């Protein structure tokens, strides 16, 4: 079975409406693109007023597609209202929330840290580990349980307080 590998080639970046190269060689590397994401982006492009090859996918209406919609405007017009509709309150959502969430979810799924580093396009794996990922509570509980089971392999499954009456297995009491 042939599978098509899709990826986005990062040719330039736009920061504060200034165009140029990405911050580092790692930030300019290709990014995998899932077919479902491609479908959604193509649908967005079909619905856009600006569908030309040179037009931006998230084009500024005010600038007639010649420049992208600013990231702060995207947050204000689309992302934050969606967060509010989802019932999430008391959180200020910014672009780095998505990066941190991706890093934490990749870690929770057991994805190799080097793969996560490259997906996040960090130049250094320490950035991925030290800044972007968080340990997930269930992962911490699972890890703690594994250590306890390793250290106390014969421990009873049900702990009993020393002053409680001794519970015997049913077969012994009959």
Could you report the per-residue pLDDT of 57-84, keeping only the tens digit for each? 888 888 888 888 888 888 998 899 999 9
Buried b (16+ CB within 10 A) or exposed e, 67-106: ebbebeeebeeebbeebeeeeeeeeeeeeeeebeeebbeb
% residues pLDDT > 90 (the chain): 9
**Is 49 part of any domain?**
yes
Q: What's the pTM value of the predicted model, to 2 decimals?
A: 0.62
Q: Are residues 66 and 31 in the same domain?
A: yes
Extract the tokens encoding 39: 């479908």
* One domain, residues 77 and 13: yes
Domain count for the chain: 2
Are 67 and 140 members of one domain? no
pLDDT for residue 165: 67
**Residue 49 and residue 95: Cα distance in Å, rounded?**
25
Residues 12 and 71 in one domain: yes
CB contact at 8 A, 57 and 69: no
Pair 50, 105 in one domain: no
Burial class (CB in 10 A: 0-12, 13-18, 19+), 132: buried
pLDDT bucket at 20, cuts 50 / 70 / 90: confident
Pull the structure tokens for residue 121.
Answer: 């396009």
33 plus 64 within the same structural domain: yes
The parent domain of residue 120 ranges over: 94-148
Residue 138: predicted pLDDT: 73
**Which pLDDT belongs to residue 2?**
54
| Helix-helix angle 113-120:95-108, to 10 degrees | 160
Tokens 């079975």 found at: 1
For residues 42 and 102, state if they share a domain. Answer: no
Rounded CA separation 164/170 (Å)? 17
Residue 92 pLDDT class (50, 70, 90 cuts): confident
Regarding whether 71 and 19 lie in a shared domain, the answer is yes
**Residue 117 sits in the same domain as residue 34:** no
pLDDT of 28 over the 80 cut: no
Q: Tell whether 48 and 107 lie within a shared domain.
A: no
The candidate with the shortest Cα–Cα distance to 129, out of 94, 156, 104, is 104
């Amino acid at each position: 079975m042939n599978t098509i590998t899709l990826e986005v080639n990062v040719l330039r970046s736009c920061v504060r409406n200034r165009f140029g190269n990405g911050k580092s060689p790692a930030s300019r590397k290709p990014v995998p693109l899932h077919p479902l994401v491609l479908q959604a982006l193509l649908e967005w492009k079909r619905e856009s007023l600006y569908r030309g090859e040179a037009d931006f996918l998230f084009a500024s209406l005010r600038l007639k597609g010649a420049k992208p919609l600013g990231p702060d405007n995207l947050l204000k017009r689309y992302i934050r209202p969606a967060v509010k509709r989802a019932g999430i309150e008391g959180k200020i959502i910014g672009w780095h929330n998505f990066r941190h969430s991706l890093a934490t979810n990749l870690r929770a799924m057991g994805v190799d840290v080097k793969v996560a580093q490259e997906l996040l396009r960090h130049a250094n794996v320490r950035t991925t580990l030290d800044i972007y990922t968080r340990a997930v509570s269930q992962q911490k509980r699972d890890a703690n349980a594994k250590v306890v089971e390793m250290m106390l392999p014969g421990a009873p499954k049900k702990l009993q307080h020393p002053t409680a009456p001794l519970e015997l297995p049913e077969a012994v009491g009959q």
